[in-house]
Amino acid sequence: MNNDEKMGEGQKQVLKQAEQFNRQQQQKAQQSRFPEPLQSLVDLVGPEQPKGQIVSAGEPKLTPQQYKQVMNQHTPKPTVVKNCLYAFGIGGLICAIGQIVQNILKSFGINGVGMASASTIVMIFLGAFLTGLGVYDEIGKRAGAGSLVPVTGFANSMVAPAMEFKREGYVYGVGAKLFTIAGPVLVYGITTSFIIGIIKFLIGWMR
Amino acid sequence: MTAPKLKGKQTVAFATPPVIVGFGSVVGPMEAQGPLGSCFHKILKDTLDGEQTWEKTESKMLKDAVKMVIAQAQLTDKDINYLLAGDLLNQIISTNYAARDVSVPLIGLYGACSTMALGLALGSMLIDGGYGDRVVAAASSHHDTAERQFRFPTELGSQRQMYAQWTVTGAGATLLAKQGYGVKVTHATMGKIVDLGVCDVNNMGAAMAPAITDTIISHFKDLAIDESAYDLVISGDLGQVGLDISKDLLRQAGYQLDKKFTDCGVLIYDPNQDTHAGGSGCGCSAVVINSHIMQELLAGRLRRVLFVGSGALMSSTSCAQGESIPAIGHAVVLEAPA
């Protein structure tokens, strides 16, 4: 009995506080910016009382195949031409920067394999540096394959997991997850080069 | 004998509808820049908000939202009977860690983006069933924690599809009570899993649209009503693509919901924010419902709202193994105070 009375008081307190809070929220709503979709909605529908009609509509029975058609109608298609242009432009720009780096190295008298290695190192540094600054993902968002295929993209795919998983420690975080993105590239890149090597050997042997 | 409060197959009608006596939302900076920015209650200064990891930030947001609604009603933790909360991360860690500092019995939920609707429905059932007087329902998500769990490292230069959705950084909480002044929860419809074979994890809107449509139609049929009963039907994050599909499916079923059907994921961001199809994540519907929609209901601009939370219940493992996405939709009816 005593407990019931206490709860009653508690409920009264809640009632009072809730009213006060909800009145504040009403004021807040009146001051707030009203977004377009709801604005038009209220204009069209108005706060009217429910009518509660009985419906006789059928439930749509869809097969996955039928649904796929409906889904494809509403799913926006990728902007292929625009994406290709971005990839071509930005990918080309990255390659042009690579060429500039090579030419500068050449002017310092570095030639041949040394020049190729040194320019790759510079480009990897740039890719890693821009990833660290949080810029490379913004480039990649637009450029797609244009920023993925050059060696800077490879640097991004190594540095991004390194940054991401540092919080789980250096062994089970960075160490274990460093190759989550680059791993598949390495696995199939090495496998492919191995197969091509065997083919080359066989052709040479048959001659 | 059937249960007296069960209407039709999936819908329950509350005998004494529980009242929402407090609500709160915490969002990240990007959400604050969106069209609903002025409606939210607390805004983080950046996505880390002084924490070491994004997971800690998400947990803190959820804790802040829960503490906020309890404090608003000038109550303490011991006045609350249950905390029903969930998030997107493995083993719902954000919820479990947030609940360390809230001494309220916890019922952890996983319903992906439908968690807020699920929490409201279950919380209302607990109160109307007489198992508690005050219940807090809450949900959270964080863009960066979700990205690293479900997709790629955040700094990876990958391209997002035009139909992809952006996980909202935010947490929302609702305080339900047996009586008081505020928005009422009058009905709830629990959804069934619907899977029409969508395998693309980036097209969650399309995966969830049939489940949402199924729940909406079941709700109408169970209560023998149609779309005219509501001022607004709002889904908890189908995104633009899913919303269009769902409208289409409802039209095929004979319901003209076009003008009064919108989506939390569509409302939360401005198209200029480059999120593609809109927002997603538990936090998306949690913050939109616990700010803008509640405020509109209290202001009387909306009288009756059907809130349908949608969940895409896949994991990165199931998707990698080629499984399609099982989706679910849970609905609750929110009614403005008389």
At A9 the pLDDT is: 65
Are B285 and B25 within 8 A, CB to CB?
no
Does residue B110 belong to the interface with chain A, where contact is any CB pair within 8 Å?
A: no
Q: Backbone phi, then psi, for B311, in 5-degree steps?
A: -125, 135
Q: Is B85 exposed, middle or buried (0-12, 13-18, 19+ CB in 10 A)?
A: buried
End-to-end CA distance of chain A: 103
The pLDDT value given to residue B148: 87
Cα–chain-centroid distance for residue B73?
22
The 3-state secondary structure of B243-304 reads: HHHHHHHHHHCCCCCHHHEEEHHHHHCCHHHCCCCCEECHHHHHHHHHHHHHHHHHHCCCCE
Quick one: DSSP state of residue A172? I
Q: What is the dihedral of CA B161, B164, B168, B174, to 10 degrees?
A: 180
Instruction: At A95, list the tokens.
Output: 């390659």
- Strand segments, DSSP code E, in chain B are 6-7, 11-13, 19-27, 42-43, 82-87, 106-108, 134-141, 166-167, 170-177, 183-189, 232-236, 261-263, 279-280, 304-312, 327-335
CB burial class (10 A; 0-12, 13-18, 19+) of residue B194?
buried
Determine the pLDDT at residue A30.
63
pLDDT of residue A3: 44
A70 touches chain B (CB under 8 A): yes
- Give the model's pLDDT for residue B294: 93
Q: Can you tell me the ipTM of this complex?
A: 0.79
Phi and psi torsions of B87, nearest 5°: -150, -170
For residue A141, what pLDDT is reported? 87
d(CA B312, CA A131): 31
Give just the sign of the alpha carbon dihedral A93, A94, A100, A103.
negative
Rounded distance, CA B88 to CA B329, Å? 16
Is the Cβ pair A36, B35 closer than 8 Å?
A: yes
pLDDT at A45: 38
The secondary structure of A25-86 as a DSSP string is HHHHHHHS---HHHHHHHHHH-SPPP------PPPP---HHHHHHHHHHHSPPP-HHHHHHH
Rounded Cα–Cα distance for residues B307 and B285 (Å): 9
User: Strand pairing partners for B138?
Assistant: B85, B173
pTM of the entire predicted model: 0.85
Among positive and negative, which fits the CA dihedral B235, B238, B239, B244? negative
Q: Is A28 on the interface with B (CB under 8 A)?
A: yes
pLDDT score of A8: 58
CB atoms within 10 A of CB A21: 23
pLDDT beneath 50, residues of chain B: none
| CA pair distance B310, B312, nearest whole angstrom | 7
Asked if B295 and A54 come within 8 Å (Cβ–Cβ), the reply is no
Which portions of chain A are predicted below pLDDT 50? Answer: 1-7, 33-60
Of all residues in chain A, the one with the smallest CA distance to B302 is A47
Beta-bridge partner residues of B327: B194, B312
A79 and B CB contact within 8 Å: yes
Residue type, B43: I
Q: Judge contact between B139 and B25, C-beta under 8 A.
A: no
* Residue B81: both structure tokens together: 């009977």
In the block, tokens 């050997």 appear at A201
Q: Please name the residues between 11 and 50 in chain B that touch chain A, using a CB distance below 8 Å.
A: 19, 21-23, 35-39
Is residue B79 less than 8 Å (CB to CB) from chain A? yes
How far apart CA B241 and CA A62 sit, in angstroms, is 18
User: Between residues 139 and 178 of chain B, which touch chain A (CB distance below 8 Å)?
Assistant: 148, 152-163, 177-178
B11 touches B173 (CB < 8 A): no
d(CA A187, nearest CA chain B) in Å: 18
B199/B320 Cα distance (integer angstroms): 10
The residue among B169, B177, B100 whose CA lies nearest residue B132 is B177
Contact at CB, A38 and B296, closer than 8 angstroms:
yes
At residue B308, the pLDDT reads 96
- Say what the pLDDT of residue A144 is: 87
Q: How far apart are the CA of B173 and the nearest CA of chain A, in angstroms?
A: 14
Task: Tell me the chain A residues in contact with residue B335 when contact means C-beta distances shorter than 8 Å.
Answer: none
Q: Which chain A residues contact residue B152 at CB under 8 A?
A: 160, 181
Closest to B284 in 3D by CA, of B331, B238, B328, B327? B238
What token pair was written down for B116?
């807020």
Q: Which secondary-structure segment (H or E) carries A131?
A: helix A112-132
